[in-house]
Amino acid sequence: MSVNVEKRTDPPGESDYATAAWELKERIRSAEGVLRQRRGFFVDAYRRSTAHLLVENDRLVAFASVRRDGYILFLAVHPDHRGRGHAERLVADIAENHRSVTCHARTTNRQALGFYEHLGFEVIRRIDDYYEDGGDAYYLKLGGESLRERLSGFVGR
């Protein structure tokens, strides 16, 4: 049986999937200790951004919220759906629509840092005490056009 993952979008001002995105983010936070935001901050940021969504059988399996300037606010993939290229697909969609793609990642989140490095993101700088809980972050930026093309290659379209 083949599984069909559908791409959907919540444009700025819409929040059809905000609750599902919050619940997915909280599941990951609880299990892995990452994606720690207060609900009010999350919902406000989600509603102001464009959310790229991957849905399977009307269930959210992955999402990325991005600002108009290409800054990725949130990127999450349901643990049962990892390793299927969902995160690469979301970042490729973002890169296709923005001249620059950036984000922050905790300096202790080796999984996220490895993922971003694999896609061609570069550490621009370290920011101490970036997160509300005092955690440090790296500010990351996707490399030049050749890397954007490489990223598109990860997701055969």
Q: What CATH number is associated with residue 119?
A: 3.40.630.30
- Residue 74 pairs with which residues in a beta bridge? 65
pLDDT of the chain, 157 residues: tens digit per residue: 347 899 999 999 998 999 999 999 899 888 887 777 788 889 999 999 999 999 999 999 999 999 999 999 999 999 999 999 999 999 999 999 999 999 999 999 999 999 999 999 999 999 999 988 889 999 999 986 545 565 555 555 4
Based on the number of CB atoms within 10 Å of its own CB, is 147 exposed (0-12), middle (13-18) or buried (19 or more)? middle
pLDDT of residue 30: 87
pLDDT of residue 45: 92
Domain span including residue 21: 3-153
pLDDT of residue 38: 83
- What's the structural domain count of the chain? 1
pLDDT of residue 145: 53
* Max CA distance (Å), the chain: 48
